[in-house]
Amino acid sequence: ARFLPFNVVRTWHVQLSILWTATSFLAAGIILAPMIAGREPRGQKWLAYGLLGALAVVVFGSLIGEFAGIHGWMGGLWSWFGNQGYEYLDLGRFWQILLSVGLFFWVIILFRAMRGRLRSERVGNMPWMFFLAALAIPAFYAVGLLARPDASFPTADYWRFMVVHLWVEDFLELFTTVMVAYIFVLLGVISERVALTVIFLDIVLYSVGGVVGTLHHLYFSGTPASAMALGAFFSAAEVIPLTFLTFEAWSFLQLGAQQESRSRTPFPHRWAVMFLVAVGFWNFLGAGILGFLINLPIVSYYEIGTALTAAHAHGAMMGVYGMLAAGFALFCLRYLIPEDRWSERAAKWSFWSLNVGLAWMIFATLFPLGILQLYESVNTGYFEARSLEYVTNPTNALIEWLRLPGDVVFIVGGVLPLLYLCYIGVRHTVPRVTMEEPEDILFAEITEPEPAEPRGR
């Protein structure tokens, strides 16, 4: 505990989950861009390698800095290279700036690959939706730079929540929808017209409401009562678009099954699609239902910072972005791994173990702990419910140990097979030329037929 105190481990846990998700988004975007454009400019791979190196510097540099900062070894440089102390923005300011620059550099890589396609498309079409959604990721992550250590707490926390809610819960969500929709278009599961409809529906229902819904983070930081009313309403209403997105994901799976039944060859991206469907399920359950349970003001007043928040956070972060990262990884690895070395069993085990392990983690431990803690907070007091004496009582300790089987399933059955596939992808990579189609085409873009010209009378 002296070498790895709780603050260090918890900071690493949160930061690695964000950085893993961001890295998967960057990798999937770099792979999808030439597929969308039909070409790849010269030198693109060296830019991708450079971005990977920069990410490695940010990841390991920030982790070491957070460790040194928490131990008090950074002196007056603690906020620049150590730990800023804001959850989700724990990394030092220098690493935060470097990561923001890296994200903008990623957008430049995408633009180099897609500029020819963008010139020939209208702004409201799929390629532009993909590019603009990608541009929103660095733009709104950089907003976190306004949360300065020397600012007042309400001001700094406001800008921090702009990252927590608008970046994590909104613009990553929008890019998720665009990426998933585009992948299904490339796989031939849906048409571009259907995908565009889903994207615009997401913008109207989720993004517009989600911006106002940010106010549920500001109930008790000096905002007026109107902010509480608007935040409560739109936070509760967020369940509605998430329900639509869940039905949409299920319809994608049904369409994929129909396509596979008509095809002579098995669908190569079955488990990548299954992960994307799991994203819809956890979006509804983890982000929607568990989020709705804690976002109403009267509940949040007694509950904020308890295990119910952790249940929502794990269901939303790992359930949505973690499963999405795994799905993107399988989608990309399917193009890198030779057919004779691809393991369908490893992908299957990873999918079921990650989902079962996460469900066990939430419903065997975090959710029961949260209900008991909320009961203690209402009946005894918020301070008592968060005290060390209550948190470490025998009942809570037993419930925490019940999490162990789920963790074993999650790590051994879910993470290790995925790492094995990543190893195979690095060890036995099959180089492909973007301009040449492989013999076994792994995707086919559906285009809407042009309407027939009316004949003159």
Rounded-to-integer distance, Cα 311 and Cα 292, Å? 12
Determine how many CB atoms are found less than 10 A away from the CB of residue 20.
17
Residues 269 and 357 in one domain: yes
Within-domain flag for 231: yes
91: which strand partners? 83
Instruction: Kindly indicate the confidence band of residue 457, based on its pLDDT and cuts at 50, 70 and 90.
Output: very low
Q: Give the CATH number for residue 288.
A: 1.20.210.10
Confidence tier at 267 by pLDDT (50, 70, 90) = low
pLDDT digits (tens, 9 = 90+) for 32-74: 888 888 888 888 889 989 999 999 999 999 999 989 888 888 8
Same domain (yes/no): 86, 219? no
131 in a domain, yes or no?
yes
> Are residues 78 and 175 both part of a single domain?
no
Q: Are residues 33 and 155 in the same domain?
A: no
Above pLDDT 90, what percent of the chain? Answer: 25
Question: pLDDT tens digits for 5-17?
Answer: 888 888 898 888 8
User: Which tokens belong to 226?
Assistant: 């109107």
Domain match, 5 and 20 both: yes
> Count of domains in the chain?
2
Q: Is residue 331 part of a domain?
A: yes
**141-192 pLDDT tens trace:** 888 888 887 888 778 877 887 787 778 777 777 888 888 888 778 777 677 8
Per-residue pLDDT tens over the stretch 332-341: 888 888 888 8
Pick the residue with more confidence: 162 or 312?
Answer: 312
Using 50, 70 and 90 to split pLDDT, how confident is the model at 260?
Answer: low
Residues spanned by the domain of 158: 151-191+200-435
Question: Are 56 and 141 within one domain?
Answer: yes
| Interval 88-107 mean pLDDT | 90
Helices 367-379, 307-316: crossing angle, 10 deg rounding: 150
| Confidence bin at 265 (pLDDT 50/70/90) | low
Q: Are residues 265 and 294 in the same domain?
A: yes
Regarding whether 327 and 365 lie in a shared domain, the answer is: yes
- Amino acid identity of residue 443, one-letter, is F
Give domain status of residue 456, yes or no.
Answer: no
In a domain, 66, yes or no: yes
What pLDDT, on the 0 to 100 scale, is given for residue 257? 59
Highest mean predicted confidence (pLDDT) among 115-124, 170-179, 372-381, 436-445: 372-381
Q: Does 82 lie in the same domain as 211?
A: no
Domain match, 211 and 106 both: no
Q: What is the mean pLDDT of the chain?
A: 82
Asked whether residue 7 is domain-assigned, the answer is yes
pLDDT score for 441: 41
pLDDT of residue 23: 87
Instruction: Confirm whether 313 is domain-assigned.
Output: yes
Average pLDDT of span 307-328: 89
Give pLDDT tens digits for 19-29: 888 888 888 88
